[in-house]
Every structure is written in C-alpha cells, then in structure tokens.
Structure 1
Amino acid sequence: MSEDDKKSVASESNRSGMFERDTGGSLSKYLETFFSLMFPLYSQKKKSNAAFQIILWALFCLVLFTLGLFRVDQGTQIQTALSQAINYVDLSSLGLILGKNSLYLTIAVFVIVFGAFTLQVLSAVFYKELIASQPIVIKITQCLVNILLQVLFIPFVSTAITSFDCFSENSFNENGEVISESFWRADSSLGCFKSIHQIISFVIAIMILIFLLTYSIVVNLLIHNHNPKNGGLFSCPN
C-alpha cells in the first residue's frame, strides 16, 4: 500500500472515531453508509490532473457549441441538414434518427447513469476494503462521475428531452374548420404520446432528468471537501 493510501485509511479511521465520540457510541450500519457517501470516497490531491480536467472542459465546450447549432425547419418540422450532421455530438440527431427506437437509447442512458451511481454507492459502502486492496476501483469511480457530470450531462439530458419533444400541425377539414394535431418529432407518423414506445421512453426520461439534475446539484454545490470539482458553494477546497 502506498503512503497516500495509508494516510487515507488513517484519515477514514479518524473520521469514524470522531463520529463515535460525537454520538457517544458506535454508529449504526445505516449511518455509517450515509456518512461514507457524504465524505470523500478517495484520496484527492491538492492539485488534480490538469490535463484530464482540460480535456473534460474542451469536450464540454464542444458539446455545448454543437447544441447551440441545433435547428429545426419550422415549415417541415424536420431537422436541418447542417444540424443533423453536427448534432450527433450531443446525441440530438441520434435520438431523432432512431425514431421510436430511441427508446433503447434512453434505456442505455438510464443504465449508464444509474450504473455509475451504483458504483459510487458500492465504493462508499466498501471504502475501507477497496482503498486497502483495490484503490483503482475508487479512481475509476471518480473518473466516471467526472465524465458523467462534465461531458455526458448535456447529451443525456438531450436524449431524455427527445422522448417528449412534440410539434403541432394545423389542417382544415371539409367544413373549413382548423384541426390541430400533435406528433412526436422522433417519429412524425406517431401522434404525441399515442405510442407505447414514447410513453415508456418518457417515464424513463423523467427519472433520468430528476436524478441527473438532483445529483449534479448535490455534487457541484453541497459536496464536502476533497471533491473532484475542487470546491463548491458549501465545501472547503484544499
């Protein structure tokens, strides 16, 4: 075990002892898990890997730039050719091209998002064992969370929005009355929320959006010191 890992284990033991003194005894398993989730899951250097952070920042800027170029022809309600070519980067075009099969893309996003969170929970629960024998697992978890929140956040939100992105068309019947119909943009042959594919995709997308927004707020604003963002509104960065 490296010197840094030994210090991390010692720090973890000190925190456990602090909690025991504060509570007048040993903590229950549920409280131990809670405090493990709220406290650092890995030993964080005072200066994180600058190259890795620059790469994540550059990818985020690229995704944000391509998202700004998303365009839909208001006459045909079809994505423009330029937008269709560029917006594969933020997954907007992919969701629209797949049509009703975008449900499977939404499911894949769901698995990735909650898989990363599950890995973080497991890292918290088995922190002492991992830091002593398999610290690489915690390092991988750190990288996944960074990538999820800094690079994949916009593409995943865009994918979720595709599930309920509809448009309206007006037409006239034989009596000259205006008839308004709504269609799913991913598959204009289907009425808005009249397909089981869209309904299932919408339910999954809502769970993804609620989780991603909540998780992003917690990590970026409320997380304690030594976090991968190197400080937040209520944190104490090194």
Structure 2
Amino acid sequence: MSEKKPTIAVIGGTGNQGIGLSMRWYKAGYSLIIGSRDKNRAAQTANIIRDKLIKITNSASIEGTGNLEAVTRSDVIVLTVPYAYQLETIRSISKALENKILVDVTAPLVPPKVGTVQLPENGSAVVAAQNMLGDNVSVIAAFQNIAAQHLSNLEHNIDCDVLICGNKKADREVVVKLAGAAGMKGWHAGPLANAAAAEALTSVLIFINRAHKIKGAGIRITDGTDNHER
C-alpha cells in the first residue's frame, strides 16, 4: 500500500518560487492548494499550472483560494512570500497553522543590497517565525538556496541540494521527501537555529551570480570523493 501524500498549501503561490515548487509537486502527484491574498489570482495560477501539466499528470488536484482557507484545508504549508511580508502573512494565518508543519522558504533579503548578508537582529527570519507561532507549529526552513528559474523549468534536473533545518527530525523528514519529489536532494541540516546559515547563503549566491555572470547558482553537499551517491 502506497503512503498517502499530504495536501500542500503554497502561500504566496502566485510568485515565481511558489509557482515553480507547485508545478514540481503537482507533477509528482501531490494535491496542491495555491494561496494568495487575491483568491481570484490564486485560482488563475492553479488553472495555468493544471493546463500546462495536463498531459503529464491527472492523479492529483490543484486549486487556488485565499490564504486562510488554503491553510485550513492542507496538511503541510509552504510559505513563499518575500521577506518584507513574511511575519505579516504568518500572523494572518496563525490560527489555522496549529499542529501543522510550516515550511518557510524565507531568506532575509533587504534591497538594494541583496547580495550582502543582512540577517535580522534575532539571527534568523525563520526562527522569528517559530518564536511568533510557538511550539504548537513545527516550522521547517528549506528551499532558500534554489533559484526560481530552475524550479519552473521542468525539462531539466536541478543540480542543487536543499538544506533542511527544524527542531523535529520527523518533520524534517517530511520535507526531505518533498525535496526529493521536486527533483532535489534534501539534507537534514540540524535544528532551526542552523537556518541562519542557509538564509545567509542566499545573499552569497546572489553575489556569485552577479560577479561571475551566471544564473541560478546553488549548493551541493559532497564527501570530497568522486563516488559520492546522490
């Protein structure tokens, strides 16, 4: 008997990163609910994804609605809004998050110097989310270092790894599986406090993109040998 896949809500799912992740999970057979402050825009985005992948998958459902309804009807919530709206958005859906997993993709990018590490005073944007929500919500940090253009291009494999931080190993493992379903290797990277390293790496990668004129730099974990298993 196959394991039942959780229903995923992607909050901020009308943005580039949210759309890319949604496309990959929908292709892998997960049921998706796109959440947005504008439920009509969320519905339009869901229809676009469904139409684009209609020849690839019909085993899962995808729809769009408002943020709060999307969270209420889902098992795992993925937050993909810009840093400036992170805590405001979490506050608006907090009552529906209790006893659920919140996967926070937030990297604290502060324009105009997004290529410079600018961690918040408490050390981590995702830790700030956990502090706001309390212990009844399991916040997991993941996907901060994956460029949106890689996610939305389903024609190529993503040659990047995902650092997954959280205080509960079982909940991290849920997200490791989601990373795998989206075509990436997920790594248990320790407690939520370690998310500061992943958040900082986002600015480092942006700087590398600019300095070396490349697109979508990412990270890979290796044991230093050429026979490392992916």
TM-score, normalisation: structure 1:
0.22
Between structures 1 and 2, the one with greater strand share? 2
Rg (Cα) greater in structure: 1
Q: Relative contact order (C-alpha < 8 Å, sep 6+): which is higher?
A: 1
TM-score, normalisation: structure 2:
0.22
Between structures 1 and 2, the one with greater helix share? 1
